[in-house]
Amino acid sequence: MQTSQEPEHFQFELQTDDGLTLFAQGWQPASSARAIACLVHGIGEHSGRYAHVGQALCQAGYGLATFDLRGHGHSEGKRGYTPSYATLLQDIQHFEKEIARRYPALPRLLYGHSLGATLVLSLILDYRTESVGAVITGPLFRTAFEPPSWKLALGNILYSLWPGFVKSNELNPHHVSSSPEVVDAYINDPLVHDRLSASLGIGMLREGASLLHRAGEIRLPLLLMIGSDDHLVSAEACSEFMAGAGDNCTLKVWEGLYHEVHNEPIKKEVLAYMVAWMDRLV
């Protein structure tokens, strides 16, 4: 279903168990939506970078709801910090429950990118979800490079002794997308930051490795998309996950694309592929 009408943009707030206020927003078609996708963004970025994804989904008859993770975007919290990886999962559960309350009659899909992809997979495996499927892009099962052993050792020490220690994530903005316009926008976006705490950095690395070995436990339909030239996370690890997940997982490797497949020059083709997969579910 295609619609030419402008989507409706909405905003709301979420409260965490430890008293933080999280910023949430979304886009819904002017006419009735057939389903709604619940998006979790990546490290250092924010939900506003997905406005074009929301508009594309609305044009296809889907809504998109998302929020800024704690310590990100317009949400409260120390930049790049979380008390634990599990705390982020609790926040996502609050978000998903709120979307279910707002749209009780609509089928829901989960959608995670990068750190968000890892979180969505953890949610599927360790918590109850009534979502009918999940879109996973650029998941961090393994990094695309081998981190120096001394950095990992130091990170593990800080994780145990000083989990709130925050430093640069050392992410190269030019590895986000092959589009110079996207990179420039990323660099100049005041809501994008490079902060990463020991609790979050080591937590997501450990969880990514665990998820790779638990692929066979997946029972929900997944669309897993990755760029072959992703310089941040391992495309090879995605293929390994696909082999473990079997028929429950559809893997699409986009030749020549970087980390943010939804922000590449052929993003319209990428989003159309995603919509076609969603159409088969709902």
The three-class DSSP label of residue 232 is coil
Q: Which two tokens stand for residue 172?
A: 């190269």
The predicted-structure confidence for 163-187, as pLDDT tens digits, reads as follows 787 888 889 999 999 999 999 999 9
CATH of domain 8-281: 3.40.50.1820
For residue 17, CA distances in Å to 21, 89, 91, 201, 256 come to 10, 12, 8, 22, 42
User: What pLDDT sits at residue 3?
Assistant: 53
Burial of 100 from C-beta contacts in 10 A (0-12 / 13-18 / 19+): middle
Q: 20-56: buried (b, 16+ CB within 10 Å) or exposed (e) per residue?
A: bebbbbbbbbeeebbbbbbbbbbbbbbbbbbeebbbb
The predicted-structure confidence for 235-258, as pLDDT tens digits, reads as follows 999 999 999 999 999 999 999 999
User: What pLDDT sits at residue 245?
Assistant: 94
Q: Which two tokens stand for residue 21?
A: 């206020």
Sketch the domain layout of the chain as residue ranges.
8-281
> Torsions phi, psi of 262, nearest 5?
-80, -5
Q: Where are the beta strands (DSSP E) in 175-227?
A: 195-197, 222-227
